[in-house]
Structure 1
Amino acid sequence: MQSMTGYGESHFSAEGVQIVCAARSLNSRFLDIELKFPEELAWFRAHAEDIIRARIGRGRVEVSLMSAAPLPADYTFNTDILAQYEKFLASKLGKKKVTLDAREYLHLPGFIERRVKNWRSYQTKFDFHLLRALIKMQRARIAEGRRTTRACLTHLRYLARVQRRIAVLHSQSHRKKLIAVRHRIYTDFFGTPPGDAGLTPNTGRGRGSAEHSRSVRDKVHVANLIWNERKEDILRSVHHDVSEEISRIGMHITRMLEIFKKQESAGRELEFFLQELQREANTIGAKAQDAEINSLTVIMKTEIERLREQVRNLE
């Protein structure tokens, strides 16, 4: 898995001038290419972009071709403009012909023309050094990607430990609340508290007491009364149950660990799971009524944000 930040360069000479081809990549959700070429090499832009797109899938890529000195150009004399100057002076001076001194030619605007040199014969050389700079940049991206992956795995394993701790605390806390609610319901419904387990009602099977031989209709009626009286307690216990959120966080962490093991470019998929982790953590923080769980949720959110910063740097 590669990082999206890297740098590489290649040096070469052409026409006696030292040229540096530098490639730099930065974070970006999409592939964004910026080329900084001198005017003489503008023809090479489209071809260079095709080479970059064939090797890079994501990130902002900046490629520049810089020379230590101005690139050499072809110079020619514009004899046509010289003839126009001489004709103009002859007409103004009333002479048939005026011949300018050779030393005065150099001061005439437009007499010396600078023409861009044709560098297309060096395309193979430009291709080679562009690829060389990109390869060096990609090596740097791979090395940085390995370091980033190790950091991400560290954050994920810590998140997994926090998730397991929250699961244990929630199980204990939620069970106590359920037992308390059921205790009140059983007492109202059966007239006696539940057994030691707190989960199995004492139905009074085999006893002849009228208290334990109510008709189904009476039981339904009493159940409705209990629902109306204990509705808030029952709904509160259900509302504060975050078992599903805790379980989903565990599944997301497992899936992300599997993605890192594949060593494939999956930055966008990881970002999706990070959004899901953040959403589940926010839900736990909003529902949980336990102080220790809330503290662990804050730690979890912090780790998710740190992990997000690392994942943003992965292709």
Structure 2
Amino acid sequence: MLISMTGFGEASSAWVRCELRSLNHRFFRTSISVPPFLSRYEYEIESLLREKLLRGMVYCNIITNITPQTIRCETEIAKRYRDALLSLKKSLKLEGDVSLDLLSRSSSIFRIDIDETQICKAWEETRGVLNKAIENLLLTRKREGKKIGKNVKERIENLKRMLRDNKEKLPQRIERERVKIEKLPCKDEALLLLDRINIEEEITRFQFHLSCMKEILSGKTSQGKKLLFLLQELLREANTMSNKIQDAPISRIVVDMKTEIESLREEVENVL
């Protein structure tokens, strides 16, 4: 089973809406946007995301209609401001009225009271919506992972076919080289050169790595990093084949194999 790191999930209630978007990343990273009164819970939000999503770049946007703040007017202070302004107007013989617009420009007249009980209730509702959004994101990750898994299986079969083609051409290549090498005066040197062009060991290891990849695909957990390691090993074996066999038909197949491995790597990099 493969799970993609790319996905989208959203959930909402009467007062809260949460949107999650994740992209592939080597590690776990977050970008969290919440209303100011919920900023104290950012660490807990990140912990929830890390626990369930494990890896990837996750963008979290939380919007709420809850306003756990009340604005109170300090009437006595406002009266003092008004009296002071009227006194200033009279002393300096200024024109104009002391209006509500003028008084409202003074921030000290207003006080913002925060209702801690409301904030706690808002967080409880937000956490429930966040968990639901995470579940929806995981569903899209699994759907995307299923598509990737199908493509990976097809490419593995392509590599198996190419490997069979190489294996079929190998005896002819070895026989042609044997005829040339047997003419060498030193038999030990001839045997050594013949052994160097034999890629049966590389083919066997290549087949083993492919079988390991198929086991991972049929497993119950997503192991993207292990797949990437196996792809590195496949590329190493393909390079060794290319270096050992100086034969045009086999070399062309090896080039196609390396291209297929690179395409596999691009897809697997998005796997959890």
Please give the TM-score of this superposition, normalised by the length of structure 2. 0.85
Q: Does 1:34 align with 2:31?
A: yes
Q: 2:128 aligns to what?
A: 128
Q: For residue 13 of structure 1, give the secondary structure of its aligned residue in structure 2.
A: coil
Distance in 1 (alpha carbons) for counterparts of 2:175 and 2:127 = 68
Q: Return the offset for 1:234.
A: 4.8
Per-residue displacement from partner, 1:261-298 (whole Å, max 9, x unpaired)? 11312100000000111111122222211111011011
Q: 1:289 aligns to what?
A: 246
Q: For residue 211 of structure 2, give the secondary structure of its aligned residue in structure 1.
A: helix
Instruction: Answer with 1 or 2: which has the greater Rg.
Output: 1
Q: Return the offset for 1:171.
A: 2.9
Identical amino acids, percent of aligned pairs: 29
1:162-181 superposed matches below 5 A: 162-181=162-181
Q: Return the offset for 1:242.
A: 2.1
**1:300 pairs with one of 242, 245, 257:** 257
Distance in 1 (alpha carbons) for counterparts of 2:17 and 2:251 = 55
Q: Does 1:268 align with 2:264?
A: no
Q: Contact between 2:66 and 2:122, CA under 8 Å: does it hold in 1?
A: no
Distance in 2 (alpha carbons) for counterparts of 1:134 and 1:70 = 21
Per-residue displacement from partner, 1:207-254 (whole Å, max 9, x unpaired)? xxxxxxxxxxxxxxxxxxx36xx84x5544333332222221111101
Q: 1:196 aligns to what?
A: none
Q: For residue 307 of structure 1, give the secondary structure of its aligned residue in structure 2.
A: helix
| Paired AA for residue 136 in structure 2 | K
| Paired AA for residue 263 in structure 1 | K
Q: Return the offset for 1:137.
A: 0.6
Equivalent pairs counted in the alignment come to 263
Q: Return the offset for 1:311.
A: 0.8
Q: Contact between 1:162 and 1:300, CA under 8 Å: does it hold in 2?
A: yes
Please give the TM-score of this superposition, normalised by the length of structure 1. 0.74
Q: For residue 13 of structure 2, give the secondary structure of its aligned residue in structure 1.
A: strand
Distance in 2 (alpha carbons) for counterparts of 1:104 and 1:310 = 61
Per-residue displacement from partner, 1:78-128 (whole Å, max 9, x unpaired)? 45753663575588567xxxxx96736643321234556652222221111
1:38-49 superposed matches below 5 A: 38-49=35-46
Query: Which ranges of structure 1 fall in alignment gaps of 5 or more residues?
Result: 95-99, 189-225
**2:196 pairs with one of 239, 244, 260:** 239
Distance in 1 (alpha carbons) for counterparts of 2:33 and 2:17 = 12
| Paired AA for residue 171 in structure 1 | P
| Paired AA for residue 173 in structure 2 | S
Q: For residue 18 of structure 2, give the secondary structure of its aligned residue in structure 1.
A: strand
Q: Contact between 1:106 and 1:112, CA under 8 Å: does it hold in 2?
A: no
Q: Does 1:76 align with 2:76?
A: no
1:177-188 superposed matches below 5 A: 177-182=177-182, 184=183
- Identify the range of structure 1 (271-280 vs 35-44) with the bigger mean alpha-carbon deviation: 35-44
1:1-315 superposed matches below 5 A: 1-14=2-15, 19-67=16-64, 73-79=69-75, 81-82=77-78, 85=81, 89=85, 103=100, 106-110=103-107, 111-114=109-112, 118-182=118-182, 184=183, 226=186, 231=189, 233-315=190-272
| Paired AA for residue 77 in structure 1 | C
Q: Tell me the C-alpha RMSD between the 2 structures.
A: 2.8
Q: For residue 64 of structure 1, give the secondary structure of its aligned residue in structure 2.
A: strand
Higher-RCO chain (CA-CA 8 Å, sequence separation at least 6): 2
Q: Return the offset for 1:59.
A: 1.3
- Identify the range of structure 1 (74-83 vs 292-301) with the bigger mean alpha-carbon deviation: 74-83
| Paired AA for residue 5 in structure 1 | T
Q: Contact between 2:68 and 2:119, CA under 8 Å: does it hold in 1?
A: no
Distance in 2 (alpha carbons) for counterparts of 1:277 and 1:153 = 15
| Paired AA for residue 161 in structure 1 | R
Distance in 1 (alpha carbons) for counterparts of 2:136 and 2:31 = 18
Distance in 1 (alpha carbons) for counterparts of 2:242 and 2:66 = 62
Q: 1:211 aligns to what?
A: none
Shift in alpha-carbon separation, 1:108–1:259, aligned structure 2, 3 A: closer
Distance in 2 (alpha carbons) for counterparts of 1:121 and 1:106 = 35
| Paired AA for residue 128 in structure 1 | G
- Identify the range of structure 1 (243-252 vs 172-181) with the bigger mean alpha-carbon deviation: 172-181
Shift in alpha-carbon separation, 1:274–1:139, aligned structure 2, 3 A: same
